[in-house]
Every structure is written in structure tokens, then in C-alpha cells.
Structure 1
Amino acid sequence: MANEAAAAPRFVAVGAGRMGRGIAIACAYAGHRISLVDLRVRSDEAWQKLRAEARAEIEGSLSSLAQLGVLDAAQVPAIADRVELVPAIAAPRALAGAELVFEGVPETMEAKREAFEQLNRHCSEDAILTSTTSSILVTQIAALVKRPERFLNMHWLNPAYVIPVVELSCHPGTDAAVLARTKALMEAIGKLPVVCGPTPGYIVPRLQALVMNEAARMVEEGAATAEEIDKATRYGLGLRFAALGVVEFIDFGGADILHHASREMSGSIDSARYAAPAILERMMEEGRLGLKSGSGFYDYAGRDLGAYRRDVLARTLGMLKHAGLWRPPAEQTQP
């Protein structure tokens, strides 16, 4: 494995906080070396303290995976050793050898500007630069980047070393070859990259914020307790959306179902929150209702719909079994 790691693409995470450490674990777990770089100039004592904290968190996270049977406890030190903890004084050397950089400094434009000044200065011209920001648009940060065509935002979902999805947000100038290379590198460490434009909230945070806010409102209104809402989302909403994507779910049930439900809840709960989007209105007018009409957000022409429905059922049953909720058929009870 050491030889594989030495030959692997060189990754650098800039910012030794929680996100940087999670990214480092993800890369190291996949067999790659990664430098975890701290750009802040610190005293030797402060650096040693940060280094020890980072190392302890990395080893602790890997040990938790070992306790859950994901890896052997004996593998933890070797995986942790693939993470090189680099102080600010040595940052130029680490950055110079980077093929892919994950910037994860604090969420301010000032901090981003300072970080990219160093990345621009020390990274090679063909290094791919990314920001893990969760709140700043890719178009804003691109202005800080030398050769912005090699830049995009990369949003990881916590824990970064567990959740497979990584959201890639491109600006209009992002080179298609850079995007393709970034996707390939992410897939090589076991990630599932998804692509979106320069939109606030990416995909997952934008969707989950609506759900979480609505859940909080329901508790506030006394509609249901937190415990009942969590049970409903884990084994109802969440289970279904683990088997079917959100847009796929619209097609599967029918755009007309969502249209009518939106109309009812718009009238009874909140007209703004539950108003159907214009695209849904157009689909209703055009008769594109989803699976039942042969087209919706997806085109089902020529598709074996019976096989597709069985596949969806299999996915759902798989989630039920994983949750321990699937039961075999019961014997007939006595009248």
C-alpha cells in the first residue's frame, strides 16, 4: 500500500480544521497521501498543539470506524500516517507539489483572499484549485484565482470521510477538462461527485434547509413532537428518498399529485412556502406527468416500466431491511 500511496495523485487540504481533517481522512482511507496545511503563522508551541489535536482527531475517527468493523484496528496508524501535517513555514513546498487543492479556511472573503494569494503564488499552473465553502458563491471566489478556469467550489457533506456525495459548483469559466479531471479524482477516492451551477446552497443544503425549517415550525406549532417527526423522517420520508431521488420521486408518483398537494397546502398552511413552481404548471399543461404519461422530468420512451418499478421496489425493500423493519409474511391468525 505504501508504494500505491507514493504513486497516487498528490492532494493538499488547506486549513487544518474539522473539514480539512475529514477530507484528509477520506483521501488517506482511499490509499492516498495528503498534506494537511495550516497557513496561519503560529508559535512552535501553538503549532504543536494544533498538530496534536489534528492527529488525535484523525486517529480517533479512524478508530471509531474500526470499532464499527469498517477496518481493522491495526490499519489505523498506517492510514493516519498518510496525512502529512504541514505548518505555515512549509506550506510553499506542499503547495508546489499539489495536483488538487481543497481550500477550507474560515468562511470570510478576507480569509479566502489571503489563502488564494498563497495558492496563486505557490501552486503549479496546472494544479486544480477548489474551495470547500458552504456559503460563498463560486463566482465570487473565482475572481481571487489566478487562471480561474482551473477553479471550482467543492462542497463536502459531513462527515466528509463517510458521506459519498461531493457537490461540484462551477462558474461559467470553469474548464470542462478541469471538471472532468476533478470528477475522476473524486471517484478514485470513492466519492460520488454531483455537479451544479453557481447557485446558493448547492443541491443538498438548499433542499435540507427547507425540510429542517419546516420540521422546526411543526414543533413550534405543536403539530407533532420532535420524536414523532424524527421517526416519520427516518422511516418514511428519509427511507423513500434513500431509494428514490427527489425528482425521480415526483415522476414516480406523478407531477399531478405534487401539483394538487401543493395547491391544498398552499391554501391551508402558507401560500408562499407551498406555491408550485412554474415548471410544474407547464408540465401539467403539457401532460408530462411522469411515469404514468411516459415523460416528466425524465423520458420513459422505450423503457421497460415493469422492470423499472421492480427495481424501485427492490431499492425500497433494501432500505427497509437495512432499517430492520421488513417482516416476513405472518401465518394466518385464528378467527
Structure 2
Amino acid sequence: MIPAAACIGAGRMGRGIAQALAYGGGRIALLDSRPRGADAFAAYRDDVLAEVQAGLEMVARLGGFDADAVPALMARVSVHPLSDAARALGGAEIVYEAVPEIRAAKAEAFGLFDAHADADAILASTTSTMLSTDLAALTSRPERFLNAHWLNPALLVPLVEVSPCDETLPDVTDRLCAVLEAMGKVPVLCKASPGYIVPRIQALAMNEAARLVEEGVATPEDVDRAVKYGFGLRFSVLGLLEFIDWGGGDILYHASRYMADATGEDRFAPPAIVARHMEEGAIGMKSGRGFFDYAGRDVDAYRTDRMGAFLNALRQAGLFRQPALEDPATTGTGQTATGSSQP
């Protein structure tokens, strides 16, 4: 069962989390983080609920679920004025913070948690830029605080990056991850580090894509085509580190050194861990060890499983084709099998 939750802040991320919670089977109270008069709050509440409902209805229209379920899902979402903080936060096992990326705004939100949330409640910031180790000082309960970085759209993207601070109790991290998994999300743990995991990787990828256009290497259309039908499809099946082991860390090492030499850009040079793996002979599946350990694993079965997943990804993208069985030597070429012209 998904425990009751609350979210301080009902902006874009708060609304997305509300959709995800309601869809996953939980109840959530969205707390307006700004003081408003009664009429202004009523209009704001209606706007919030309308957007939450519109997002759910869109997924239903796209075939995600039966649209008749939308009213039941919406019944799990409530919106409260700032003056109602005690009722909104009280009884919530997890309180998400989703206010603007301004330290003063975070401090006010954390103060609301300290004042009104249950003693054993978990506070999970959704910041995409600040570190949990920095924000921990804003709450009197740092042992019950951590960061939970959702990716937009929160309703559909499974991943949530969970980043504890130094004081976070292990059972707090375990509990949050268990709740996320029960909702159908995929939590991953990472230390407090700028960019976390996905934003750090995607920042490099997006900047490199922009450089390709800037340098005239390819048009924006062809860069994105390459990403959608090559990069994206491949890495939807194999993780980046898994792919290194699959092809061989030696290939990455030599390719990176060539790229660094050819471009004169240090950003292409292999990192120390790849060079160390080369020295140790830990270059992936073909050596039995790389970023992952393949000792005792049925590598052939693993390869077959991953290739099956890749075929499924192609089918989902509408890109899988059956083999061409007509003989090209006798169809549409005007040539015989020996290459002579037909009279």
C-alpha cells in the first residue's frame, strides 16, 4: 500500500508528482507555498487540479489506461492553502518539497516541514540543482531528509535519483526507495554531486550535439535523427557502462585517445578508470571482467537476452522489418543472376 504523501509546492513538479502518486495508488496533499486570498487560492486550486487531470486524461487517450478511472485517481489529490499547512502535512509519511530553486524558498518549505509534519515523516526535496548535503542545514531533522530528483514528465519517466545527505538514516533511504518501487518507479542511489547522474550525462551529450551543429558537421535534423535511431535506441537496451563492457573497454580507450588527438580537445580523452582497466586487462565480457563481473555468468544467454530486448525496442519504435525474401537478381534490376542484361 502506498502511504499518504504531501508536497510543498504545487508547480510543475508538484503537479507531476501528484499525477504519479495518484496513478500509483497513493493519496497526496499539495500545499500552496505562497499566501493568497480566498478568491485567488480558489482559482489557483482549480488551475492545479485541471492540469493534473489533463495530464492523466492525455495518458488515457493515448491508450495508457481506461479514462473511466480518471475521477477515482483525481479523488486522491487535494490542494491546500498555505494557512492549512498543519492539515496538509500532518499524517503524511513522505513530504516532498517542490518549490522554486531559490535557497530562501527551500528554507521556508523546510520550516513548514519542521513545524507541521509528523515526527517520523520523511522530507524529500526534488531539487534538480542543489545538493542534499547543502540543503540538510535547512531542517532540524536532517536524519530524515534526502533528495529525490524526479525527471519530467514525472508521471511517465520511471527513474528517480535518490541522494541522501551525510546524516540521512539508512532506513529513511530504504523506505523512500521501497515506496517509489511500489509506485512503479525505478530509484537509483547517488552521492550528493553536481548534476547527479542523468543531468550530468545529458548535459555533456546535449552540449556535444549543439557543437556538431555549430561546427557544421551535421544539420540539427540529422543530429537528432542519429540520436533517435542510433544512440537512443541502443542505450534504451544497454546501459552506458554495460555497452563499454559489451564492445570492450579497449575499443573505447583507443577511440577516445584518437578523438582527443584528432580534435585537440581533452574532453574526449579516456578517464583514468578506463585507462586503469586497460592496464589490468579488465576490458569487459571478453576478459571476464570490466565495469561488471562476468565470472560464472552465461554470457551467450546474456547476449541473446539483450538482443531480444533490442528487437523489442525496434518493434516498439516501428522500425523492425522482416527480411527481404525476393531474389534481387530477378526483381526490378533488369539483371540475371550472372549479371547479363535481359533482352
* Aligned partner of 1:217 among 193, 211, 218: 211
Percent identical: 54
Q: Which has the larger radius of gyration?
A: 2
How far apart, in 2, do the equivalents of 1:286 and 1:172 lie? 33
Instruction: Report the aligned-residue RMSD.
Output: 1.1
Q: Which residue does 1:56 correspond to in 2? A: 50
Q: Which residue does 1:162 correspond to in 2? A: 156
How far apart, in 1, do the equivalents of 2:61 and 2:107 lie? 40
Q: Give the CA deviation at 1:174.
A: 1.4
Report the secondary structure of 1:273's partner residue: helix
1:260 maps to a residue whose letter is H
How far apart, in 1, do the equivalents of 2:265 and 2:273 lie? 17
Q: Give the CA deviation at 1:136.
A: 0.4
Contact residue 39 and residue 91 of structure 1 kept, 8 A: no
| Matching of residue 80 in structure 1 with residue 46 in structure 2 | no
1:301 maps to a residue whose letter is A
2:197 maps to a residue whose letter is I
Q: Cα gap change, 1:8/1:212 in structure 2, threshold over 3 Å: closer, same or farther?
A: closer
How far apart, in 1, do the equivalents of 2:315 and 2:63 lie? 19
How far apart, in 2, do the equivalents of 1:188 and 1:121 lie? 28
List alignment gaps of at least 5 residues for structure 2.
Answer: 331-336, 338-343
Contact residue 2 and residue 183 of structure 2 kept, 8 A: no
List alignment gaps of at least 5 residues for structure 1.
Answer: 1-6
TM-score for the superposition, normalised by structure 1? 0.96
Contact residue 15 and residue 37 of structure 1 kept, 8 A: yes
Report the secondary structure of 1:143's partner residue: helix
* Aligned partner of 1:285 among 274, 279, 293: 279
Report the secondary structure of 1:298's partner residue: coil
How far apart, in 2, do the equivalents of 1:168 and 1:260 lie? 34
Q: Give the CA deviation at 1:173.
A: 1.8
Q: Which residue does 1:232 correspond to in 2? A: 226
Aligned length in residues: 329
Q: Which residue does 2:146 correspond to in 1? A: 152
Q: Give the CA deviation at 1:270.
A: 4.1
How far apart, in 2, do the equivalents of 1:154 and 1:10 lie? 17
* Aligned partner of 2:60 among 51, 60, 66: 66
Q: Which residue does 1:93 correspond to in 2? A: 87
How far apart, in 1, do the equivalents of 2:231 and 2:62 lie? 26
Contact residue 169 and residue 195 of structure 1 kept, 8 A: yes
How far apart, in 1, do the equivalents of 2:229 and 2:7 lie? 36
2:89 maps to a residue whose letter is L
1:56 maps to a residue whose letter is A
Report the secondary structure of 2:319's partner residue: coil
Q: Which residue does 2:295 correspond to in 1? A: 301
Q: Cα gap change, 1:91/1:270 in structure 2, threshold over 3 Å: closer, same or farther?
A: farther
1:75 maps to a residue whose letter is A
* Aligned partner of 1:110 among 101, 104, 108: 104
Contact residue 165 and residue 192 of structure 2 kept, 8 A: yes
2:269 maps to a residue whose letter is A
TM-score for the superposition, normalised by structure 2? 0.94
